[in-house]
Amino acid sequence: AQRVTQPEKLLSVFKGAPVELKCNYSYSGSPELFWYVQYSRQRLQLLLRHISRESIKGFTADLNKGETSFHLKKPFAQEEDSAMYYCALSKSGYSTLTFGKGTMLLVSP
Amino acid sequence: ETGVTQSPTHLIKTRGQQVTLRCSSQSGHNTVSWYQQALGQGPQFIFQYYREEENGRGNFPPRFSGLQFPNYSSELNVNALELDDSALYLCASSLGPSRQDTEAFFGQGTRLTVV
């Protein structure tokens, strides 16, 4: 069975500092990886997906199949980045998502 | 374009009772997935409906059941409620069931408390 692991429950940084939210996965097939974000009092929403290779709100994530990782990075954190971040995986041929437990990012001024 | 809406927002039920949660999918979306999010956990897949048929199920007992209607709205029914069913229930709609259709659009969720 597939699994997504986010080792950090909470990541606290200062504004302007670099951010890396870790995500590791286990799946024997060809996964698609996503980052979803939930801002305070808002619904869960897609931040980025690995196949699009986009940079959204300054965040990037690279799929490393050798290390089975999909870490989310931003060079300079902003206070508005404070939110709950979930890494998720979908299996080959399916749209259903397997989520990690999430990492709360707190960016202090 | 309307987003995914869920009702009710909150409800409290007694152990052993039954509950029905509702979800209206985003306009143009024919696929609805339901997730359970316990406190401190990520969302966990319950099942998916595509064109009124169940199209995949997670590791949940049969007392969790669902329906999808011709307008693609959906219901989640839970029978014989247990205390551990207390959670946030999320509905997500997408253009289709295939991975290339995946951007899942989530509702605000229904907070169910079982006492």
Distance from CA of A95 to the nearest CA of B (A): 4
Q: Is B51 on the interface with A (CB under 8 A)?
A: no
Residue B102 · residue B94 · CB < 8 Å: yes
CB contact under 8 A, A96 and B48: yes
Burial A2-24 (b: 16+ CB within 10 A, else e): eebebebeebebeeeeebebbbb
Q: Which residue has the higher pLDDT, A94 or B20?
A: B20
**Cβ contacts (< 8 Å) between B9 and chain A: which residues?**
none
State residue A91's pLDDT score.
Answer: 85
In A, minimum Cα distance to B34 occurs at: A96
**Cβ contacts (< 8 Å) between A94 and chain B: which residues?**
56, 97-99
d(CA A14, CA A82) in angstroms, rounded, equals 11
pLDDT tens figures, A33-75: 999 999 999 999 999 988 777 778 999 998 999 999 999 999 9
Residue A89 · residue A27 · CB < 8 Å: yes
Q: Which residues contact A53 (CB under 8 A, 6 or more apart)?
A: none
**Cβ contacts (< 8 Å) between A34 and chain B: which residues?**
102
d(CA A96, CA B45) in angstroms, rounded, equals 7
Query: How many Cα neighbours within 13 Å face the side chain of A39?
Result: 8
Whether the ω angle into residue A75 lies within 30 degrees of 0, i.e. cis, is: no
State residue A88's pLDDT score.
Answer: 95
State residue B102's pLDDT score.
Answer: 63
Q: What percentage of chain B has pLDDT greater than the value 90? A: 85
State residue A97's pLDDT score.
Answer: 92
Q: Indicate the average pLDDT of chain B.
A: 93
Q: Is B54 on the interface with A (CB under 8 A)?
A: no
State residue B103's pLDDT score.
Answer: 82
At B101, is the pLDDT very low, low, confident or very high (cuts 50, 70, 90)? low
Whether the per-residue pLDDT at B18 is higher than 70: the answer is: yes
Distance from CA of A56 to the nearest CA of B (A): 15
State residue A74's pLDDT score.
Answer: 96
Nearest to A100 among B42, B45, B96 (CB): B42
Whether the per-residue pLDDT at A92 is higher than 80: the answer is: no
d(CA B14, CA B28) in angstroms, rounded, equals 36
Whether the per-residue pLDDT at A27 is higher than 70: the answer is: yes
pLDDT tens figures, B58-98: 999 999 999 999 999 999 999 999 999 999 999 999 988 88
